[in-house]
Amino acid sequence: MSNVRRVLVHADKQTLAGSVAARFITKVVDLLDQQSEVNVVLTGGTVGTAVLAAINESPARDSIDWSRVVLWWGDERWLPRGDAERNDTQARNALLDHVALVPQHIHWCPSPADGIDIDEAAALYAAELSLAADDGATTPRFDITFLGVGPDGHVASLFPESDGIQVTDETVVAVRNSPKPPAERLSLTLPVINSSDRVWLALAGPDKASALGLVLADASTLEVPAAGVEGRLRTVFFVDSEAAAEVPSELIATEY
């Protein structure tokens, strides 16, 4: 799959976040010229949140008609709504509370306060995805899916050797044994991630270099989940120079 991937290297995390933010704004404006809405899947993590903050800080932020942007989450931590460690809380603080989104277009993952268990939460989010899908589909057509990559190569909350990375017949899984806290999470499955037109993976720091090297060497998806990620139209790794330490020069793109 490496022939369909692009690796774009930036000097540091701040430059990376600004570059992804600029590309996001340009792409969403272009897409909204062609279609009525844009479906975007958000991620958490340090770099993912930094990208959202960079979008918010961009002078071009309001060139997007935010009323036509529909938001989803690739994964969420099973914590009370508003908890500082939830991905959606971090997204709200970084961007969502600062732009004119339509409340009904923000598809929050359930929380323990909803009076359901985590299996019911997974089923509920799967049903919400299905309701927004075209006839015959189980999820909306995602235009852009953001992902981070862990030092172990995990994406969303799909960890190496876990049950979740092996699920192909569900759209949302309940994760109970995450190797990083909190142990319980919700996550989209890999087939859903790969149904996105564009998957943008952003990673920074020397602890990500080994994982990125394994991904680009087409490691086993079971062992390195990020190796199984492939968007329908484009798969781009936005990385800083430290994360790119083990990337062969021939795989580094000079342009998007």
Position 194 in a domain: yes
Q: Strand 185-188 and strand 75-77: pairing?
A: antiparallel
What is the four-CA torsion angle of 31, 36, 38, 39, rounded to 10 degrees? Answer: -150
Number of domains in the chain: 1
Q: What tokens appear for 49 in the block?
A: 């949140």
Quick check: 94 pLDDT over 60? yes
C-alpha neighbours within 13 Å on the C-beta side of residue 140: 22
Q: Are residues 159 and 221 in contact, defined by beta-carbon separation less than 8 angstroms?
A: no
In-domain check, residue 188: yes
Residue 255: inside a domain: no
Q: What is the CATH number of the domain that holds 241?
A: 3.40.50.1360
* pLDDT bucket at 254, cuts 50 / 70 / 90: low
Please indicate, yes or no, if residue 251 is contained in any of the structural domains.
Answer: no
* Domain assignment present for 254: no
pTM of the model: 0.95
pLDDT digits (tens, 9 = 90+) for 101-160: 999 999 999 999 999 999 999 999 999 999 999 988 999 999 999 999 999 999 999 999
What is the domain extent for residue 199?
A: 2-246
**Structural domain includes residue 85:** yes
